[in-house]
Amino acid sequence: MAEKEKTVPLEEAKEQVRKVCARLGLLHIAFARTLVNELGEKKGKELILKAIKDYGVRIGEEARAAATARGLDNSPANFKSDLPLYGMHDGGEAVKVGGETRRRAYGCVMGKVWNELGEGELGRLYCYVDPAKYMAFNPDFKLAHVKALPDGDEYCELVVRPTTEQERKDFAEKDKDWSYLDE
């Protein structure tokens, strides 16, 4: 007899994803706080951003390989979402602001954790994974945060924008500051 497939209610599945996201937020803060405490603010943040860039590049390269495997190019429309559909945020929507299409995400679980710990600024460094992954997918574009929950905003608001030649150059250099790309 075939084994019966188990299903769980959507709310239970969302709660399981929330738990993982909260733990990921705590893990990021544990590593980030340790680096800053041990190496000082400047050097600690430099290393955090270096790690986040590496993390983002790995995600972007994986997304590019997936698009290529599907016979697609690396235009922004072909970047397949790499985030859970349920549980990581309370909800989201696409909005038009000043001629741009932006994505709003409400109630980011990790952002809530960082803010509750009083670590919004350090937690926010994790969010730099977004411009890094997009630039690794296609260096001509970045995914930038216009608003971010850890910055004190009510929600996160992201937009895909073209990069400049200088941004591409700075991102490609190993030890160059690229954090300004998330603007």
Tell me the two tokens of residue 9: 């209610």
Q: Residue 6 — pLDDT band, cuts 50, 70, 90?
A: confident
pLDDT in tens, 54-84: 999 999 999 999 999 999 999 999 998 778 8
Question: CA–CA separation, 175 vs 137, rounded Å?
Answer: 20
Residue 162 DSSP SS3:
strand
Across the range 99-121, mean pLDDT stands at: 95
Q: Which pLDDT belongs to residue 2?
A: 62
Q: By mean pLDDT, which of 46-50, 87-91, 112-116 is the weakest? A: 87-91
Q: Residue 49 — pLDDT band, cuts 50, 70, 90?
A: very high
Distances in Å between the alpha carbon of 59 and those of 54, 64, 107, 129, 143? 9, 9, 23, 9, 13
Considering the chain, what is the average pLDDT of its residues? 93
Domains of the chain: 10-181 (3.30.1380)
Radius of gyration of the chain (CA): 17
Across the range 29-45, mean pLDDT stands at: 98
Question: CA–CA separation, 180 vs 183, rounded Å?
Answer: 6
- Residue holding tokens 């350090």? 122
Question: CA–CA separation, 132 vs 56, rounded Å?
Answer: 5
Angle at 85 between CA 82 and CA 87, to 5 degrees: 115
Cβ-based neighbours of 80, under 8 Å, separated by 6 or more? 63, 66, 67
Q: Which pLDDT belongs to residue 5?
A: 83
Is the pLDDT confidence value at 115 over 60?
yes
Looking at the chain, the whole-number percentage of residues with pLDDT higher than 70 is: 99
Is the pLDDT confidence value at 176 over 80?
yes
pLDDT in tens, 137-172: 999 999 999 999 999 999 999 999 999 999 999 999
Tell me the two tokens of residue 29: 């803060």
